[in-house]
Every structure is written in C-alpha cells, then in structure tokens.
Amino acid sequence: MSDRTPRRHSLVSALLVPPAVLLMLAEEVVWAGLKALMARLGRLPLVARLEARIQTLPPMGAAALFLAPGAAMFPFKLMALWAMAHGHVLWGILVLLAAKLTATALFARIYTLCKPTLMSVAWFVRLHDWITGAKAWAHARLNGWRVWRFARRSIGRLRSWAARLVAALG
C-alpha cells in the first residue's frame, strides 16, 4: 500500500495544482487591479467624502456594509441565470462576470476602509482568520511545486518589464 500512496499523491497534486495555480494567480492580479482602481476612484471628492463617512461606521454598520456588495449583486446574478436559461448564454456570462467584478471591487474597497473596525466583530475575525489560514496553507502547498515557483518568477519578470515599458512610454 505504501508503494501506491506517493503515486496517488502525485496524481491528485497533478490534477489539483495547475488549476490552483491559475486561480491564485488570477485572484492576485484581479484583486490588486480592482483595489488600485477603487483607490483611484477614492480620490474623487464625492467618493472621498463617502469613504470618510464609511470609516466612521460603528462595527455592526461596517459589518452590514461589508456584506452589502454580495447582496446588491444578487439580482444581477439571477438575471444572468435567467438569460442563460433562455438561450442567451454569452449575455448571461457577461452579466455574471460584470456583477462578480463589481461586487469584488466594492468588497475590496470596503474591506480596506472597514478592516480596523471589522476586526472588533467576532464573526468577522473568525472568518478573516480562517480565510487567511486557508490561503497560507494553499500557498505553502503550492510553494512546494516547481511549476508554481516558475510561474511566480515569470509573473514577477513580466510585471517588471511592463512597469519599465510604462515608465519609458510615459
């Protein structure tokens, strides 16, 4: 039986690690991009005033606001499912993608603005710690894979090259 365990482990890892690599890289890129976009929007005077008020919310107000993007996008997700069920698959996917990106952008900004307050809410702290632990566990597993390390180095080189290109053009 011990002869089969490493082989089984390798097979499971070979099946799970590539999608995990793609998912985690996409998450990092999308999250960073959306955070930067929302921070830029936060410099607009009206948005800056709204964000200043958000930062003064009490813990339960911050918690409710933290949950709001997911709830606000629910009707759009239903509309996307309805469109797909009626043969408009591309339209449904586009609506679903737009709703997901919008909710994620709002979530990222609200998280940034409200994190200090939210860290006083017990359920948020438990959720935050669980997600942080799960992400650290996944990264630790992925760091053991050569393909993951190669992908990380390649992405770093690509980002550096893109930054130099933007600096040279601008």
How confident is the model at residue 34, as a pLDDT? 78
Query: Which residue in 43, 35, 29 sits closest to 158, CA to CA?
Result: 29
pLDDT confidence band for 5 (50 / 70 / 90): low
pLDDT, mean of residues 33-42? 82
Considering all CA atoms of the chain, what is the largest pairwise distance in Å, rounded to the nearest integer? 66
pLDDT, mean of residues 33-54? 88
Q: Is 60 exceeded by the pLDDT of residue 4?
A: no
Q: What are the CA-CA distances from residue 103 to residues 9, 68, 73, 107 (Å)?
A: 36, 9, 6, 6
Q: What is the pTM of this model?
A: 0.66
**Chain mean pLDDT for the chain:** 84
How confident is the model at residue 168, as a pLDDT? 82
How confident is the model at residue 104, as a pLDDT? 83
Q: Is 60 exceeded by the pLDDT of residue 6?
A: no
How confident is the model at residue 1, as a pLDDT? 47
Query: Tens digits of per-residue pLDDT, 129-160?
Result: 999 998 888 778 778 878 778 877 887 888 78
Of residues 123 and 30, which shows the higher confidence score? 123
pLDDT confidence band for 88 (50 / 70 / 90): very high
% of the chain exceeding 70 in pLDDT:
89
What are the structural domain ranges in the chain?
A: 4-169
